[in-house]
A = this chain, B = another copy of it.
Amino acid sequence: MPTQFLYIIDILGTISFALSGAFLAMDKKLDPFGVLVLSFVTAIGGGSLRDIMIGNLPVSWLTNSTATIVIFSSAVGAMLFSRFIKQFTTTLFLFDALGLGLFTVVGIKIGIAKDFSAGVCITLGTITACFGGVVRDIMLNNIPLLFRREIYAMACIAGGLFYYLLRQLGIDGELVTILSILVIFLIRLIAVRYKISLPLFYNSTI
């Protein structure tokens, strides 16, 4: 049951990531091929960067035809039905937040399977969840949104710490996964609802 549940989150998260890439690409008037590439980059960029850094090659999406089909369909759907889809901004935001949680935990587990330290595993989880968006923004010639918007990567890091805390407490693996996803999901919800960003606690001295 939880496996199916996680599978559905994976699909929904992938869709929302792919759509975010597609819409930003359309805003910059890229051609349909460009929109397609940006959908892929957003959805699989983080996982690919993780796989490359740890030597988990070929990168996983090359052998994952479900992901490929979901992303391709999302990109085409974004171009054909953008007005219709944009009515569901809130729904997509919820999918995005769920996906953020799941992808973080997926990255952490892949790190654990390779015997990395907790700090590295949480980093890998955060990269998995967040860096597709970074590559997307670099390709679109923007400074990555991740570095300036409401709490996003910090939700992944907090969720990762929570994941390790629960494991320490000897809680069952599947429950740990689901609770950690929920924590990330909730932090992200609260951050956006109350427009909470990381404080710029430094003095810019330019």
Contact = CB atoms under 8 A, between A and B. Distances in A.
Interface of A: 25-35, 37-38, 48, 52-55, 57-59, 62-63, 65, 68, 78-80, 82-83, 86, 114, 116-117, 119-120, 134, 138-144, 146-148, 153-154, 197-206
Contact of A148 (B27, B31, B38, B114): B31
A52 B54 contact: no
Given A33-B198, A148-B30, A116 B62 contact: yes
Contacts of A62: 53-54, 116, 120
Given A53-B59, A62-B53, A116-B62, A202 B147 contact: no
25 contacts: A26-B202, A26-B204, A27-B204, A29-B200, A29-B204, A30-B143, A31-B200, A32-B199, A32-B201, A33-B147, A34-B144, A37-B153, A38-B147, A53-B57, A53-B59, A53-B62, A54-B59, A62-B120, A65-B117, A79-B201, A80-B202, A82-B202, A83-B203, A134-B139, A140-B143
A199 to B, nearest CB: 8
A139 B130 CA distance: 14
Contacts of A142: 141
Given A31-B148, A79-B201, 9 more contacts: A25-B147, A26-B202, A27-B204, A28-B143, A52-B57, A62-B116, A78-B202, A80-B202, A82-B203
Contact of A147 (B27, B34, B80): B34
Q: How many copies does the complex hold?
A: 3
A33 B204 contact: no
A136 to B, nearest CB: 12
A171 to B, nearest CB: 27
A139 B145 CA distance: 11
Q: From A33, A48, A68, name the one whose CB has the most chain B CB atoms within 10 angstroms.
A: A33
Contacts of A38: 147
